[in-house]
């Protein structure tokens, strides 16, 4: 089994989900008491948010590149950035290591295309929805993503940072998200991406008016597929 390197803490709420999903998937695949070989570097999210809000992406690049390089030195065979937003600097992080960076947009796009959809609604932080790195990447992969209007983008963003990242799950916010998805469906969206790794705390992707793709679950499963690649037998303790 290969070792998975996780850059977490953005926020720790979703990093805990990554850890659980990765280990559940390994146990499901190998059986018995099997669990994943994982190394995590969990950052102080307040520092990363400070870089985001001040536009100091150069400092974020250095911080996460240092994390990735440290995980590789510690024995990680692949690296995951456990957040959608920080994939804005994924190319820089990938360039700082010699092991693969498993890219959340690549994996989510592949899952959508494999299911026969093309016009996903992206729900994410304002940075992810507005900076273009995510939607442009998806367009290059043959998809036609859409984002909510400006007011709804702010609503989605505020719920993430003020509630979900702080461990709060509010029914009113769930209703607001569902209304945004309904509007997108009326405008031609054929599926929805839970494009922030905390949104799975609020929404069940299987209980929406459109087919849902949880980027957290997709990303974690891709890591497990990589970690178990080349191993076909099922081991039962």
**How many percent of the chain have pLDDT more than 70?**
97
> Using an 8 Å Cβ cutoff, are 25 and 59 in contact?
no
50-95 pLDDT tens trace: 999 999 999 999 999 999 999 999 999 999 999 999 999 999 999 9
From residue 59, alpha-carbon distances to 86, 89, 149, 173 in Å are: 12, 10, 30, 32
Compute the Cα dihedral for 131, 132, 137, 141 and give only its sign.
positive
**Phi/psi-derived region of residue 193, left when phi > 0, alpha when psi is between -120 and 50, beta in every other case:** beta
Domain segments of the chain as ranges: 4-103+219-227, 105-214
Q: How far apart are CA 117 and CA 144, in angstroms?
A: 10
CATH tag, 4-103+219-227: 3.40.50.1860
Residues serving a catalytic function are: 83, 196
pLDDT greater at residue 235 or residue 205: 205
Across the chain, the runs of DSSP E, i.e. the strands, are 4-8, 38-42, 78-81, 120-123, 191-194, 212-214
For the entire predicted model, the pTM comes to 0.93
Same fold, 4-103+219-227 and 105-214: yes
149: helix, coil or strand? Answer: coil
CATH tag, 105-214: 3.40.50.1860
pLDDT surpassing 80 at residue 234: no
Per-residue confidence (pLDDT) for residue 231, from 0 to 100: 45
> Using an 8 Å Cβ cutoff, are 179 and 155 in contact?
no
pLDDT greater at residue 38 or residue 229: 38
pLDDT surpassing 70 at residue 176: yes
pLDDT surpassing 90 at residue 236: no
Chain-centre distance for alpha carbon 81: 8
Q: 10 Å Cβ neighbour count for 221?
A: 17
**How many percent of the chain have pLDDT more than 90?**
96
Mean pLDDT, residues 9-13: 96
> Using an 8 Å Cβ cutoff, are 165 and 48 in contact?
no
Mean pLDDT, residues 124-151: 97
């Amino acid at each position: 089994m290969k070792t998975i390197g996780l850059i977490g803490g953005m926020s720790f709420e979703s990093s805990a989900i990554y850890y659980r999903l990765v280990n559940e998937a390994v146990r499901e695949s190998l059986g018995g008491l099997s669990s994943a070989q994982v190394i995590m570097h969990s950052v102080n999210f307040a520092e990363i948010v400070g870089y985001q809000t001040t536009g100091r992406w150069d400092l974020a690049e250095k911080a996460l590149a240092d994390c990735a390089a440290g995980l590789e030195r510690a024995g990680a065979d692949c690296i995951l950035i456990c957040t959608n937003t920080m994939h804005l600097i994924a190319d820089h992080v990938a360039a700082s290591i010699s092991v693969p960076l498993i890219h959340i947009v690549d994996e989510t796009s592949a899952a959508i295309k494999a299911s026969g959809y093309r016009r996903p609604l992206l729900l994410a932080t304002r940075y992810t929805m507005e900076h273009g790195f995510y939607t442009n990447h998806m367009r290059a992969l043959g998809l036609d993503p859409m984002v909510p209007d400006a007011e709804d983008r702010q609503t989605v963003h505020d719920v993430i940072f003020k509630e979900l990242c702080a461990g709060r799950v509010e029914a009113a916010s769930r209703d607001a998200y569902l209304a945004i998805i309904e509007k997108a469906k009326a405008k031609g969206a054929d599926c929805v991406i839970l494009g922030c790794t905390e949104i799975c705390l609020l929404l069940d992707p299987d209980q929406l008016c459109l087919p849902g793709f949880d980027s957290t679950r997709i990303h974690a499963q891709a890591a497990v597929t990589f970690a178990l690649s080349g191993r076909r037998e099922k081991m039962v303790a």
